[in-house]
A and B are shown apart, each in its own frame.
Chain A
């Protein structure tokens, strides 16, 4: 059983599981958004968690002081995601029945004073937060460690937890892409959301049915690409950034067979059986075509689809193309992950001469 869990946790398999899970989540959100479902699934999740904690290796990873907050945060993610779905499910049912959302009901329209209602509550929340931090720091120490020894770097060397998703992306992308371009786009994209999304639906109330595309797009990026990669990076990457199942010993000497090949090498050497052209653009021509095809082709395809044309109409061209660009770039990550697992593909376009690898 543990063997099976170890194997299935490998992103090769678990990522597909996450995608399927995400699809089911979107489809059956009304069932998921019930208290009954929440309680029963929490019982199962906690049960599984407790069972897993019996394993010394898993236990060691979880109770490591750096990781305890991440575990707590993961449970918070589960709860708040469910909570929004729960609220949305109620509102969607009301909207279907011709009622207003709960937030729009008459009794919820009444206004209260900021002082003392909000200010008091915020002060108390702030104080409580400090109390929790103080108590936390007493029990989970964060002492000064040894002076940094350049000849003995920690292995695995891990980024702070909130960057572990980015670090995990380094497995699939060139550092320049995973470390600069993609995070930059994430920030820019998040900033751009209010300017792209001008749809007033869902303002001030929870809903899923009215905002399926927006919710689906955001939650996929957040849960499947960001949180999931943090989980992998935190709990399942050990020394040498090798994958270790949750029940596996972090053996320093574990070796994984990985020989990655560039698309250009596939094409020229394996496909045509000739040596690589010296002109780098000619050399990378296939990758360039494929990448351009990915962006242009998929955009055209989108334009033709019903959803695409309606979006174009409601958003206008600029907003629409920006959205598509951002979504397609986000999509690069899962695409690249699958290409790596299926074909050991290193880079679609490999131009180390220009620090440009994709």
Chain B
């Protein structure tokens, strides 16, 4: 067909195409809106409505189920009869109601009038006052007007009161006439009120309701949607956006809809209730959601809700990862510098707000990791927050020669775990990256040289005791009973295995290790050899010391001591030294340097360099190494934020994740060298601790907590004065390991595992100790320990505490018990009420106190502490609390409760008033008390 003139296409074709493209355009715009409208989180919210519906229905059912059918029938009956009655009285009711209505109308009218007068009075008051003050001649006229209006106002008010009074009569009558109906309605409200509320809530979850649909419809859902993004904005916890810190915004609750509501514990995620509402998220918890959000602890990108991956969710394990990949197309987050903590590492989030404390309350996993870091001494080589001031974890080596044998030391350095399976000294040699024969030869030369150097540096030490032989069985008995096992473990002593202490060396094999004379001196007075040691003295007699030594010497590891360490290969030594020298010198110069050294000097030079190379000086104090020398390992104080690409994964095929790297690094620090052709001097040196998975995981958690996050002052936990005192003292309590024996307010008491049968045989619990004992007594006691509980075999050791330490430990207990002021123990004589003393004496006999607290009363063996110590030791208020109910303080105590349920056993004394009896007894105890504050009582010196 021919085209029109001047046309390239037919008009109809053009129009058809135009229509087609326009429709395409329309659809694409619709698709765009839908794409914007359909969000994964909306799906979750709609699903959550179904969950809520289900729960509400169940609640309603439960509520309805509680209403008995009889009651329901009764209610119906009363309704019926009430209606009938009211029907009969309808006539008079209507009349009365008419009356009430009329009066109400009149009241309304009067109130209108009143408001008019009120306004006039206010206005005239102002005008008159103004005129009066300025001497305006109109003042008297205004005053007159004002007074007039005041009268009208008062009269109207009076009228209203009258009307209201006249309304009361008919009202009362009506309610009297309707009484039965009102009662029935009340009853119904009582029964069904809550159900009605629940039904109201249920109606809100109905998504087929047209109003609901309208509010959430596309295009108009910005008006007043019910399905919407929920969020908290936290001013005092910020997110680092690199160029500025911005308030944290968490929108997690958009999908985790019921995270802060009880009753959804059994729902699958995301609808589950937070598992620990009392501590976290809950409104009444210390960390309510409104103030702390979610990602403050969990990590991740809390403001991002595009989809499941946006929040940087991190699976707990491979299994969960697989299921997430299936369900949510999970993939590792892109470019998120710090992803969400895995569930098992959640507590890593605690540290950033709870800094500067020895332990974080309730953060058990974090605390465990920290404890392990302390036990393994990681802080010696790495800078780790909170550990900057800690003592070196290894023993000092500066008097080594008097204690150990050189061959043993070499074998020990070479393979500590060969001697002691529970060694805390890690393995540097025989590892995956240095077991090539070439490397082993070099290592052997290094170990030989190190030992030589240590011997060369070793100072003279003369043990004060001499080992003369002792009773092995007695020694064993002593070790198991005096308290050694609270810190040490020994094979062969079952109790020590139960306690499983790791604080101090494993004692098995000691006989193949140390010099007998050294040992006998050491067990008696450790500070003689090592003034800085925390090993206390148990006040062993020299006989006891001989027995203990005899037992320890019997613990041998013959196969280890039989090994002779390979001799030093001088060629290898020289090669190693040359390599050191050549770092800065030419080969010729290096050779020259080497040539001027004598044979011994060469060995010592290599020894010192090797001790430096492996960082031995970090854990041990060694002569020739300045105390301030920088630790050998990298700083870990921001490890939890270290960019992932700064971790060396080498050629290892493991996921490139921060926590995975740390975990595997702890398990085997040398693994990253695999597949790399490194020269000897560049091999990884971090030693092997042979950690269990569980330990490595705990430490990983704690290390992950060391981030760069800066929480504003307002957001972090700040200690109050009491907590700060407690914290200071706790550092010493932790240093001296008090909690391995004492259970202090429920924490610690490791050794009690050995006293399962009777905890009274173990070290005492310290419950509210700051309240229990006088501060000055405790202070003196710490400096001069003496037995308090005569039946105990386990001994409170004597620590070498400084005055400051004693003070701070005392303050620790005082602060924990909220004993604010320092009150010295009483020295004034007791003041008695008339007849009280006689009653106290009678009571003392009647309750047979002296049958257990024998000291000073009879010659029997004491089964309870000497009462004469009470006066200076125990606080009055505590004595009374204790007497009133000892089991409430120490559940296992043998001290009887004489006033069970507030009933006196001796009703005749002091009228049977428990309070009076207890006070009298307390006064008596204080009267017989000694004024001696230091040291043990002389038993015979007490009399009645």
Contacts and interface: CB of A to CB of B under 8 A. Distances in A.
A117 B10 CA distance: 9
A150 B243 CA distance: 9
B242 A135 contact: no
A148 B17 contact: no
Interface in B279-316: 301, 306
B28 interface: yes
Interface in B526-566: none
7 contacts: A116-B14, A124-B18, A127-B24, A135-B28, A150-B243, A155-B645, A252-B645
A116 B11 CA distance: 8
A152 B337 contact: yes
A261 interface: no
Q: Which of A147, A154, A252 has the most CB of B within 10 A?
A: A147
Interface in B376-395: none
A112 B8 contact: yes
B242 A147 contact: yes
A146 B31 contact: no
A137 B36 CA distance: 11
Contacts of A111: 6
B21 interface: yes
A152 to B, nearest CB: 6
Given A145-B335, A152-B643, A134 B31 contact: yes
Interface of A: 111-113, 116-117, 120-121, 123-124, 127-128, 130-131, 134-135, 137-138, 143, 145-152, 154-155, 252
Nearest to A115: B6
A112 B7 contact: yes
A67 B116 CA distance: 79
Contacts of B301: 146
B241 interface: yes
B8 A117 contact: yes
Given A116-B11, A130-B25, A138 B18 contact: no
Q: Which of B14, B21, B337 has the most CB of A within 10 A?
A: B21
Contacts of A112: 6-8
B319 to A, nearest CB: 25
Contacts of B243: 150
Contact of A128 (B8, B21, B306, B335): B21
Given A124-B21, A134-B28, A146-B301, 17 more contacts: A111-B6, A112-B7, A112-B8, A124-B17, A127-B21, A128-B24, A130-B25, A130-B28, A134-B29, A135-B31, A147-B241, A149-B337, A150-B243, A151-B643, A152-B337, A152-B645, A154-B335
Given A131-B25, A135-B31, A113 B241 contact: no
Contacts of B11: 116
B9 A143 contact: no
A127 B25 contact: yes
B22 interface: yes
Contacts of B32: 134, 137-138
Contacts of A128: 21, 24
Contact of A113 (B7, B22, B24, B306): B7
Nearest to B651: A253
Interface in B617-675: 643, 645
A121 B14 CA distance: 8
Contact of B21 (A131, A135, A146, A149): A131
Contact of A148 (B21, B242, B645): B242
Contacts of B363: none
The 6 residue pairs across chains A and B that have the minimum distance between CB atoms: A113-B6, A134-B28, A112-B8, A117-B8, A131-B28, A147-B241
B17 A138 contact: no
A144 to B, nearest CB: 9
A227 B28 CA distance: 32
Interface in B20-54: 21-22, 24-25, 28-29, 31-32, 35
B38 to A, nearest CB: 11
Contacts of B334: 145
Nearest to A154: B335
Nearest to A151: B643
B293 to A, nearest CB: 18
B336 interface: yes
Nearest to B13: A120
Given A113-B7, A147-B242, A120 B28 contact: no
A146 B303 CA distance: 11
A138 B31 contact: yes
Contacts of B25: 127, 130-131
B335 A146 contact: yes
B27 to A, nearest CB: 8
Interface string B233-260: 0000000011100000000000000000
Nearest to B244: A147
Given A127-B21, A138-B35, A145-B335, A117 B29 contact: no
Interface string B709-741: 000000000000000000000000000000000
Contacts of B645: 152, 155, 252
Contacts of B14: 116-117, 120-121
Contacts of A143: 306
Q: Which of B24, B31, B243, B334 has the most CB of A within 10 A?
A: B24
Contacts of A146: 301, 335-336
Given A117-B9, A148-B242, A154-B335, A127 B22 contact: yes
Contacts of A121: 14
Q: Which of B8, B243, B306, B335 has the most CB of A within 10 A?
A: B8
A5 B9 CA distance: 49
A111 B241 CA distance: 62
A111 to B, nearest CB: 8
Contacts of A134: 28-29, 31-32
Contacts of B18: 120, 123-124
A252 B646 CA distance: 12
Contacts of A152: 335, 337, 643, 645
A117 B242 contact: no
Interface in B319-372: 334-337
B31 A150 contact: no
Nearest to B6: A113
A66 B745 CA distance: 61
A5 to B, nearest CB: 25
A154 B335 CA distance: 8
B242 A150 contact: yes
Nearest to B643: A152
A221 to B, nearest CB: 35
Nearest to B26: A131
A123 B32 CA distance: 21
Contacts of A124: 17-18, 21
A130 B26 CA distance: 11
Contacts of A145: 334-335
B31 A117 contact: no
A113 B31 CA distance: 36
Interface in B34-86: 35
A116 B10 CA distance: 10
A150 to B, nearest CB: 6
A273 B929 CA distance: 101
Contacts of B242: 147-151
Given A120-B14, A138-B31, A151-B643, A131 B24 contact: yes
Contacts of A130: 25, 28
A124 B21 CA distance: 7
Nearest to A131: B28
B584 to A, nearest CB: 24
A122 to B, nearest CB: 12
Nearest to A128: B21
A155 B645 CA distance: 11
B595 to A, nearest CB: 34
Contacts of B7: 112-113, 117
Nearest to B9: A117
A150 B241 CA distance: 10
Interface string B257-269: 0000000000000
Nearest to A125: B21
Contacts of B31: 134-135, 138
